[in-house]
A and B are shown apart, each in its own frame.
Chain A
Amino acid sequence: MQQLITTVLTGLTLGAVYAAFALALVLIWRATRIVNFAQAPMAMITTYIALVLIDAGMSYWVGFAAALVSGLVLGALVERFVIRHLTGKSEINAVILTLGLFIVIHALAALIFGARYRSFPAPFGLRGFQVGDTTIALTGFGVFTILSVVGVMVLLVLLFRGTDVGLRMRASAFNQEMARLLGVRVGRMLTLGWALAAVVGSLSGLLIAGGGLVHPSYMDGVVVYGFVAAVLGGLDSPPGAVAGGVILGLSLSLVSGYVGSELVPLASLVILMAVLLVRPGGLFAQVRERRV
């Protein structure tokens, strides 16, 4: 029983992080029909920026903010100067392009920051809360993780539903040609979409790193889990991505706790294949048929 509670609580925290990452993938997929595999190294390098600032003696929150801002800038730059030039080519080329970017950022990080493991601080306690005599697996940082992901979701919903910019972004994602005719600067909206997604991705990078080790490839697994979570939710719906993230976090935590942590990536592969083959539209799809 004790172990089950531990597993579930760990799963919830992990699920929140996967949800954030899946959200970043979904934002970009909706805007440009591209799965940004380079999201993982982009989040990794912004986390390194935070680490450098924190190691230089600044507070955790300065590093945190710097990582998010550099994520915003990086996302915008990548869309404007790399992805923009790809328009109208086959979907395989888009995949290869983001993977090329993946390799480049990866190598750059190892070149600039070194390839060794470095520990990343956490702003809140990493010891579980005490309930009576037992320590439960929910840490202060875990609570912060869940709250910040929920906070980001609320902000995104407010942005997309409640503001003029959000409406324009939705319009350009829905139909570029039509939006352009109605006077929306579609190019700018796409840049903004990528920038926002990169901020959310950076957040997930910071949350995973907190209290753990950072390494140029520490996000490589997360891109797989984020992708699986996004597909669980249908790849098209932000709420679906969040639900997918939580479901995946719980399932993987159960596998890790009861079978073995080495098989977690394999379990995510099995879950992904099961979803794609049985319910290609995701768990919450309303449309019946979809080409995957």
Chain B
Amino acid sequence: MDRLLGRSTLRRHLTLAVLGMLVVVVVLESTGPFRNAQFASMAYYGIAGAGLTILIGLNGQISLGHGAFMAIGAYTAALMLQGGDPLPLPVILLAAALVTLVAGAVVGVAAARLHGPYLAGATLALAVAVPGIPVYFSGTLGGEQGLNVRVPDIPPWFADAVFFVTGQDMSRSRYLGYLGWFCLVVTFVLLANLARGRVGRTWRAVRDNEVAAELAGIDLGRARVLAFVVSATCAGLAGGLLALSARIAAPSGFTLTLSLLLLSAIVLGGLGTLTGALIGAAMLTFVPQLVTGLGQDLGLTDVRAAELAPLTYGLVTMLVVLFAPAGIVGGIRAAAARRRAVKTSGTSKEARKDEAMDEIRGVTGDRHPGGGVRRG
């Protein structure tokens, strides 16, 4: 891997990003409007999941309120798209992310002082509370019906550029797919660099041992608030994209269920890993169709068959927590590490020690045997 992509972290991530974008172009161009729309929703689930997995896996804070942050981003975008002549979409998405950043900072300052179940309960209250706000201010925020969102026209230069490369005309759902995946790739590169660098090391140090982190000169509160803000901003961006894809921002779209499904997705993928967030997003997007079809074959009505998807997520979440807390990505990494350890018997002791450390931590994030804290 190292030989293939180079040793510099930034170069490796950028190479991966360009490769990823190429895959996106091929996939989006070779599929129809329905799949395009599905990929667009996979992108926003991926972005929100990435933010949440960084917060839980790397910093050890739990949030059940990310659905609420997505709602803030979605309503910001929807409000800015109300007029006849809206701003360009990148500006709107950036604004959605920034407004959520501010909200995340407010919540994060309070959250930084809470732990485990207290933090879970407080963010749970947030998830339940936020959908009530647009109902109360129904004049500006549209009440129960929500705000309809009109997707602006595709910029001609973009349609021309894509036509030049692929020779195909741009449809609206494909445009949204491109937009979502571009945002996802940018977000992932930023988050990957953040997680690899000093900030990420600080977060992990705070997660693993507060006292040691504080002794090493880390400001616990600042590290926690920063992690929360970064995470909430991702959710806000995802919310903006959701409003565009769903063409509506309504309270019913941001129930407690959304926050819980997001959590179960990243638990399955593997907490603390961006790849895991992507796997989780794919699960949230493609599993419903699969199991609903299965349920209909078994003779269930449409409405009841639709409940099979959350049932699957919930069961999988429980099984993962009980039997494989590292999730899919963590499990693969551990298996690979074991194989390496067997090959070079000299390091097997070290590998065993690593596993024991993971076992102690319980929540397995990025593997970082060195794990030391450096003050830069």
A residues in contact (CB < 8 Å) with B = 29, 34-35, 37, 82, 85-86, 89-97, 99-108, 110-111, 114-115, 217, 220-221, 223-224, 227-228, 231, 260, 262-266, 268-269, 272-273, 276-277, 291-292
Q: How far is the CA of A91 from the CA of B51 in the complex (A)?
A: 20
Q: Is B321 an interface residue (CB 8 A)?
A: yes
> What residues on B are CB-neighbors of A227 within 8 Å?
121, 124-125
Q: Which residue of A has the minimal Cβ distance to B120? A: A95
B260 touches A269 (CB 8 A): no
Number of B interface residues in the complex (CB < 8 A) = 51
Kindly list chain B residues whose C-beta atoms are within 8 Å of the C-beta of A269.
Answer: 122, 125-126, 128-129
- Among B102-120, those with CB < 8 Å from A are 110, 113-118, 120
Nearest B residue to A226, CB-CB: B121
State the main secondary structure of chain B at its contact with A: helix
Cβ contact within 8 Å between A106 and B310: yes
Task: Tell me the minimal C-beta distance from A57 to chain B in angstroms.
Answer: 25
Given A90-B361, A114-B304, A99:B260 Cβ within 8 A: yes
8 Å CB contact of A221 from B126, B128, B304, B361: B128
Residues of A within 8 A of B311 (CB): 103-104, 107-108, 111
Pick 24 A–B contacts, CB within 8 A, sort by A: A37-B120, A37-B124, A91-B115, A92-B363, A94-B116, A95-B62, A96-B267, A100-B314, A103-B260, A104-B315, A106-B314, A115-B307, A220-B128, A224-B121, A224-B125, A224-B128, A227-B125, A260-B136, A262-B133, A263-B133, A266-B133, A269-B128, A272-B122, A276-B110
Q: A102: which B residues are within 8 A, CB to CB?
A: 260, 314
Contacts of A106 on B, CB cut-off 8 Å?
257, 310, 314
* Given A93-B362, A292-B113, A292-B114, A223:B124 Cβ within 8 A: yes
Q: Does B135 sit within 8 A of A, measured CB to CB?
A: yes
Tell me, in angstroms, the Cα distance from A115 to B130 when the chains sit together: 23
Q: Is the CB of B256 within 8 A of A111?
A: no
CB distance B264 to A103 under 8 Å? yes
- Choose among A97, A220, A223 the residue that contacts B322 (Cβ–Cβ < 8 A): A97
- Whether the pair A262, B136 counts as a contact (CB closer than 8 A) is yes
Find out whether the CB atom of A35 lies under 8 angstroms from the CB atom of B117: yes
| Structural contact, A265 and B132, CB atoms closer than 8 A | yes
Nearest CB of chain B from residue A34's CB, rounded to whole Å: 7
Task: Please list the residues of chain B having a beta carbon within 8 angstroms of any beta carbon in chain A.
Answer: 56, 60, 62, 64, 110, 113-118, 120-122, 124-126, 128-130, 132-133, 135-136, 255-257, 260-261, 263-264, 267, 300, 303-304, 307-311, 313-315, 317-318, 321-322, 325, 361-363
Complex-state Cα separation, A107 to B300, whole angstroms: 14
B125, A268: Cβ atoms closer than 8 Å: yes
Complex Cα gap A292–B113 (Å): 7
Question: In the complex, are the beta carbons of B314 and A107 less than 8 A apart?
Answer: yes
Q: Which of A104, A265, A276, A291 contacts B128 (CB 8 A)?
A: A265
Contact B64 A99 (CB under 8 A): yes
**Could you say which residues of chain B place their CB within 8 Å of the CB of A29?**
117
A93 to B116, CA, bound (A): 9
Residue of A nearest to B137 (CB): A262
CB distance from B199 to the nearest CB of A (A): 21
Contact present for A276 and B118 (CB under 8 Å): yes
A35 (CB) vs chain B CBs: closest residue: B117
| Minimum Cβ distance to chain A for residue B23 (Å) | 31
- Which of B114, B321, B322 has the most chain A CB atoms closer than 10 A to its own CB? B321
Which residues of the other chain, A, contact B256 by a CB distance below 8 angstroms?
217, 220
Decide: A265 and B125 in contact? CB cutoff 8 A.
Answer: yes
- Set B130, B303, B310, B318: member contacting A101, Cβ < 8 A: B318
Question: How many angstroms between the C-alpha atoms of A59 and B318 in the bound complex?
Answer: 37
A111 touches B125 (CB 8 A): no
Closest A residue to B256 by beta carbon equals A220
Expressed in whole angstroms, the Cα–Cα distance for A217 and B257 within the complex equals 10
Are A90 and B362 also in contact (CB < 8 A) when A273-B110, A276-B118 are?
Answer: yes
Query: How far is the CB of A181 from the nearest CB of chain B, in Å?
Result: 25
Return chain B residues, CB-CB under 8 Å to A268. 125, 129
Contacting A110 at CB < 8 Å: which of B128, B307, B322, B361? Answer: B307
What is the bound-complex CA distance between A269 and B110, given in angstroms?
Answer: 12
- Given known pairs A224-B125, A262-B135, the reply for A111 and B117 (CB within 8 Å) is no
Which of B110, B115, B314 contacts A104, CB < 8 Å? B314
Q: How far is the CA of A90 from the CA of B359 in the complex (A)?
A: 10
Closest 7 CB pairs of A and B: A103-B314, A90-B362, A100-B317, A104-B314, A107-B311, A91-B116, A100-B318
Q: In the complex, how many angstroms separate the beta carbon of B211 from the nearest chain A beta carbon?
A: 12
- State whether A276 touches B116 (Cβ < 8 A): no
B124 CB contacts on chain A under 8 angstroms: 37, 223-224, 227
A85 to B307, CA, bound (A): 27
Q: How far is the CA of A46 from the CA of B296 in the complex (A)?
A: 27
B315, closest chain A residue (CB): A104
Distance in Å from the Cβ of B172 to the closest Cβ of chain A?
32
Known: A260-B136, A277-B113. Is A104-B318 also a contact (CB below 8 A)? Answer: yes
A91 to B318, CA, bound (A): 14
User: Hey, which chain B residues are within 8 Å of A220, CB to CB?
Assistant: 128, 256
Min CB distance A66 to B, Å, is: 24
A90-B363, A269-B122, A292-B118 known; A96 and B321 CB under 8 Å? yes
Chain B neighbourhood of A103, CB < 8 A: 257, 260-261, 264, 310-311, 313-314, 317
Complex Cα–Cα for A283 and B163 (A): 65
**What distance in Å separates the Cβ of A65 from its nearest Cβ neighbour in chain B?**
28
The answer for the CA separation of A35 and B115 in the assembled complex, in Å, is 12
Q: How far is the CB of B237 from chain A (nearest CB, A)?
A: 24
Chain B contacts of A223 at CB under 8 A? Answer: 124
Q: Shortest beta-carbon distance, B361 to chain A, in Å?
A: 7
Partner of B125, one of A99, A217, A228: A228
- Across the interface, name the chain B residue whose C-beta is closest to A270: B129
Q: Could you tell me if A266 and B132 are in contact, using CB atoms closer than 8 angstroms?
A: yes
A272 is contacted by which of B60, B125, B257, B263 (Cβ under 8 Å)? B125
Contact at B263–A35, with CB atoms within 8 Å? Answer: no
Of A96, A105, A260, the contact of B317 (CB 8 Å cutoff): A96
